[in-house]
Amino acid sequence: MLKRIPKFFRNFYFITTFLFVTWMLFFDSNDFITQYQMSKALRAKEADKEYYLQKITEVQKDRKELMSNPELLEKFAREKYLMKRPNEDVFIIVPKEDK
């Protein structure tokens, strides 16, 4: 039966190399599938990083504008945090949702 297998495949170095490569590709903790999933996750994290860096620059720009303009700061406080002056009343109109 062993005589039907070509001599090249019965070679000790071939068998050892084949087993090593099989182990590294499928059974090792850093196998091919895990590496692919980790590189995919890394690309997603890098995209998130770019998004958040862009948002940080927008917030810094808005903060600089707010701190330099008192009227804009008052407008922001009124709209965002519903602040009011002592002699004012604030009415919030919420549009009705269509179902």
Contact 82, 92 (CB under 8 A): yes
Amino acid 9 reads F
Q: What is the C-alpha to C-alpha distance for residues 90 and 85, in angstroms, rounded to an integer?
A: 9
CA of residue 39 relative to chain centroid, distance: 12
- Residue ranges of alpha helices (H) inside the chain are 7-10, 12-22, 32-68, 70-81
- Residue with token string 């297998």: 5
Q: Is the pLDDT of residue 6 over 90?
A: no
pLDDT tens for each residue of 28-69: 888 888 889 999 999 999 999 999 999 999 999 989 988 898
Q: Is the pLDDT of residue 8 over 80?
A: no
